[in-house]
Chain A
Amino acid sequence: MDISFEHVSYTYQPGSPFEYRALHDVSFSIPSGSFVAIIGHTGSGKSTLLQHLNGLLVPTSGTVTIGDYRLKADEKNKQLRKLREKVGVVFQYPEHQLFEETVAKDIAFGPENFGVDAKEIDKRTKEAIRATKLPEELLERSPFDLSGGQMRRVAISGVLAMNPEVLVLDEPTAGLDPSGQREIMDMFYDLHHEKQLTTVLVTHSMEDALAYADHIIILNEGEVYMEGPPLDIFQHQDKLEKVQLDVPEVIEFVTKAKHKLGIELDYTGQSVAELAKDLAQKVRGGRDHE
């Protein structure tokens, strides 16, 4: 589903002493099937933006369009349920939303609310649990007996079982160990391609944005600060530093190599091994210029 924001602003508690403008005149569009990373510090408006994607919030002014659904201030939004079925949101620490007696029931909770029939739910549950690489034996266990990592996968399965077309991920790897983080991100990446989803990843991690996203939107103080393909964005280290954001380590290294050794490495997403080969060649070749 195509997603577009047109001059969206959002203000919390307007007209009160606590009035707080979280988004200001935000416009962008995300074509169907793309993997977009939204980056920004705490307080940049990320989480407010995220809540517009499935109608938890409706803009104070401006228009949000998701597929055929339109969210606009002062318009009755009757199809919110339909929208929420199509847009699956994996919140930060999603294991906190588990509540059923068994894993199977918890996974079925979303689809049940949307009126999916029992047979179909059964099928989807099995599919979801396979996608998150959990053993089927867990289905009849209580989610509260599982390890933290397993609980997170159950919660993710619960969102996947809704069969969403858009997947919104809010820091889905927070608090996991490095190998767990990689597994989860790889899993989402595979799903994205397999099911041709539109994926919106809200993250602090520049490394993840570089590795998985094909488009980056950087938010700062409620406004779109930068936007573009990862490699273009990370060209502008100075501009990122101004809002206290880093570039991925590999790009930082490439820049340093240029300044300190005068070696120009062209980073286009190659592996560490390829980069090392290129670097080795240039270090050796460097002798001829001296």
Chain B
Amino acid sequence: MNSSMVIGQYVPGDSVVHRIDPRAKIAVIFFFVIIVFFANSVMSYGLLTLFAVASAASSKVPLPFIMKGLKPVWFLIIFTFLLHLFVTRQGEVLFSLFGWDIYEEGVIQGAVLSLRFFLLILVTSLLTLTTTPIEITDAIEELLGPLKKVRFPVHELALMMSISLRFIPTLMQETEKISKAQASRGVDFRTGSFKDRIQAIVPLLVPLFVSAFKRAEELAMAMEARGYQGGEGRTKLRELKLGKRDFILFAVFLLLVVGLFVTRN
């Protein structure tokens, strides 16, 4: 019951990829997303694919979990491929399909774009698969650190995110509890017309909001009682430190970038 509640897509593990500093992960993914658009030869695409697949393999995340992350975008990848296949009219005609000419360039374009798409999704979903939401929050707080100088509320934003994460399971339990209580009073959440079902949500939503507000109020008081007064003068327990592992990643990534530009046409 409770133990089954997993937030986001995180798959617990102890692999190299799991242990890499979340800031390093975010930075590398950010630049990877950029360099994907520079690839233009078979070799350069080969290198990128090698990097992405090797990362996925060393994360030791079981394949089904990775595939699950790709599921919602499969359609887009295939659609992109088909679109290019049928619309591009350059190069030699390879063959005819239902009276429609398929050009060589169309196959290449479609394959390339789909591959790009696939690489982007694979690498970014690897971040959420191997990094806890709270680590991502910490990393974002650190990476946005410089914005504090222009009075951007970086700390508050990060605290808000972490408190939301903390309360997701609590509110999920609450939702279940209230929906059971209302079902016991004769509400049917499953059948009936669309309008009926929308109406059935009201007895669930109102109590949820009321309770969320009450929780927020009490939490604010508890935080104040424990001396919370904003980000200034605060120290931090959770500390991010770049280690050897992270520098190795940077080095590998640098090699990839160099390799990419060497193999470009």
* The residue from B4, B182, B188, B211 contacting A18, defined by CB atoms under 8 A apart: B4
CA–CA, A113 and B4, complex, Å = 33
What sequence of 0s and 1s flags, for each residue 190-206 of chain B, a beta carbon within 8 Å of any chain A beta carbon?
00000000000011001
CA–CA, A113 and B202, complex, Å = 14
CB contacts (< 8 Å) of A99 on chain B: these are: 202-203, 206-207, 210
Query: Is B68 engaged at the interface, CB distance under 8 Å to the other chain?
Result: no
Query: Is B171 engaged at the interface, CB distance under 8 Å to the other chain?
Result: no
> Would you call B184 and A113 a contact (CB within 8 A)?
no
- Which range contains the number of A residues in contact with the other chain? 20 to 34
> Would you call A114 and B177 a contact (CB within 8 A)?
no
> Would you call A56 and B206 a contact (CB within 8 A)?
no
| Nearest chain A CB to B177 CB, angstrom units | 7
> Would you call B177 and A159 a contact (CB within 8 A)?
no
Query: Is A54 engaged at the interface, CB distance under 8 Å to the other chain?
Result: yes
Instruction: Answer whether A56 and B183 are a contact pair too, CB < 8 Å, given A97-B207, A109-B203.
Output: yes
Query: Is A192 engaged at the interface, CB distance under 8 Å to the other chain?
Result: no
CB contacts (< 8 Å) of B180 on chain A: these are: 51, 56, 91
Q: Nearest chain-B residue to A88 (Cβ)? A: B184
| Nearest chain B CB to A78 CB, angstrom units | 11
Instruction: Answer whether A159 and B185 are a contact pair too, CB < 8 Å, given A51-B180, A56-B180, A96-B207.
Output: yes
Query: Is A98 engaged at the interface, CB distance under 8 Å to the other chain?
Result: yes
CA–CA, A109 and B204, complex, Å = 13
CB contacts (< 8 Å) of B184 on chain A: these are: 54, 56, 84, 87-89, 91
> Would you call A96 and B185 a contact (CB within 8 A)?
no
* The residue from A22, A88, A96 contacting B178, defined by CB atoms under 8 A apart: A96
Query: Is A268 engaged at the interface, CB distance under 8 Å to the other chain?
Result: no
> Would you call A158 and B185 a contact (CB within 8 A)?
yes
> Would you call A13 and B4 a contact (CB within 8 A)?
yes
CB contacts (< 8 Å) of A110 on chain B: these are: 185-186
> Would you call B182 and A97 a contact (CB within 8 A)?
yes
What sequence of 0s and 1s flags, for each residue 89-122 of chain A, a beta carbon within 8 Å of any chain B beta carbon?
1010010111100000000011011100000000
Q: Nearest chain-A residue to B6 (Cβ)? A: A18
